[in-house]
Amino acid sequence: MAMLMPCDQFPEMEIALPRGESISLPGDVSDFWAYVLFYRGGW
């Protein structure tokens, strides 16, 4: 996937959360701005 540029649409994806829940992006974000941080974990 190419890097997102300013004004690009965020791709739709579903992310599994640690407690067994999931979130759909960008659908579950109600604000115009949002930060998404992916933490890979310890090496």
**Residue 22: which pLDDT band, with cuts at 50, 70 and 90?**
very high
pLDDT at residue 36, rounded to an integer: 81
Whether the pLDDT of residue 10 is over 70: the answer is yes
What is the pLDDT confidence band of residue 20, given thresholds at 50, 70 and 90?
very high
Lowest mean pLDDT among 7-11, 20-24, 35-39: 35-39
Sign of CA dihedral 5, 6, 11, 14: positive
- Please give the pLDDT value at position 43: 67
Rounded average pLDDT over 20-31: 89
In three state form, how does the secondary structure of the chain look? CCCCCCCCCCCCEEEECCCCCEEEECCCCCCCCCCCCCCCCCC
Closest CA relative to residue 23, chosen from 32, 33, 14, 10:
14
